Structure 1
Amino acid sequence: MTRAERLAPYLAEMAASEQVIKQQSTTFYYAFSQLPAYQAKSIFVLYDFLRQLDDAADTKQTEAFTRLRQLWQTVKLGTPQTRLGRNLLLVFQTFAIPMQLMDEMIQGQTHDLQHQPIRTWADLHHYCYLVAGTVGLMIMPILREHSLTTTERAHVIRVGIALQLTNILRDVQEDYRKDYVYLPQAVLFQAGIDLKCLNHTQRKLPTGLVHILKLLGKQAEHDYRVAPAVINLVPDSAGRVALALAINGYAAILKQLRRRNYNVSLGRVVVSNRVKAWLLVRAKLRYAI
């Protein structure tokens, strides 16, 4: 029995997660809705749970986070009692996704819930792996059947980290206003930077802060270089196009930030529908072979 055949009887029950993602994560939905139903809905189930974890951690909803962590424990034990839990177990079993990856993701979200500080570049790199590198490693088994080599795994992690760094750069001001700082504290201290400058829109940010933001941007750009290799790990064209669209959507955000000279006080960068359409055309031209 193929993976598509195994999941076919459950697709209707998995549709609830698809609707959640369609409403809350339009870019993500736009990318992965291009896949065959059994792959798309599996990714939406996974992302539905991840989104709930992230929201609970970001809004300090400790009880909700604890319930989600307990739900995951029932999945690991093979005894889920909720629809989402049953769907998660089905996805992890069908695609042989290592459950340790979700444990690491929850560890990263716990970092946010408990407001643990990021002090060094190494702290930031590890955090990005926990909350984003793991996501790539969970999605890849859905898109392909063969295991990753050590080098391929490293490339997937690098792209995940690039995506998270892009997220951090895009949301620096918004996160600061919610009392979250993902820029390494030791680096900010050494540069004498006070992030109170982010309380207002400014035509020009302090040079030291721009320098740090540029360093993050350059690191993301460096990691995005392995994106084509990661995309080509996917054997079918629909999967390659979907993955390319998701990755290139974030790369487009980074490009806009660079054009602003990383002035993150000018408002949140978004990818327009026109740009999304162009990214889809470009992905199909390059990867739909």
Structure 2
Amino acid sequence: MAGRAAPTARRTRLGAELRKLRERAGLTTTQAADLLGTSAGQLSNMEVARFGVSADRVRVTAHTYSCTDQALIEALVDMTGDRRRGWWEEYREILPSKLLDLAEIEHHGTSLQAAHSIHIPGLLQTVDHARAIYRQAVPEISPPEIEHRVSYRVKRQAVLYRNGAVPYRALIHEAALRMRFGGPAVARTQLQHLLTLSEHPHVSIKVVPFSATNYPGSGQSVYYVQGSVPALDTAQLDQSHGPVFIDAEAQLSQYRLLIERLDAAALQTEQSRALIHSIAQEL
């Protein structure tokens, strides 16, 4: 097994899932290592992604742990495949690693869903809107880093335009549409950009209006990336110190329910478009 100084998000998740399988089997690291014919140290390194894992190793490990979920096993095997690093690696020494992890996770997602109450989702932001947001960051970000973050965000948006783009759904509260980051002209262009994107067949943009009689959740932004099987889904939460990733099934099920309830509270697509257009006309 080859060592990796900086494991990718995909490798890290693979190791974490193998650890979950071991724990579900009720095995300690030492017990599992004995069954697999390896050392506890090597097994621990595999689970924390210090070493790469082969497809055969994943299958043997899953069998040893009595995992019968074939779809999950094959999904884990697939994660051992292409080891080339993506475009985000050019930012490895420039931006926080969690931001790079986000780009990698969404690159491999099978559907993307965002729920925002104050900000426009990152994949839908214009360059000027994104720059205005970063200029208000606390702690303050230097001008060069702002430009790095803006260019990184724009490159992430390619996931919406690539061949075979996956479904993307954004649930945006009306409050976010009325924020004037960067001034009226920037805000108007941003709203027009949303209208343009909403015409893409794989993009759904729906608005939760002020008139909605319910708004589930605490208003926290949630980005939900669906994996090849539900067990490999990821929820990402925005925090002032950076993105936080959630992969525990109990929490994932809560965020899936939250997004569905927000969708039920939102206007239908054409009504949402009409509201966005109306707000843009007021600027």
TM normalised by structure 2 equals: 0.28
More strand by share: 2
Higher share of residues assigned helix: 1
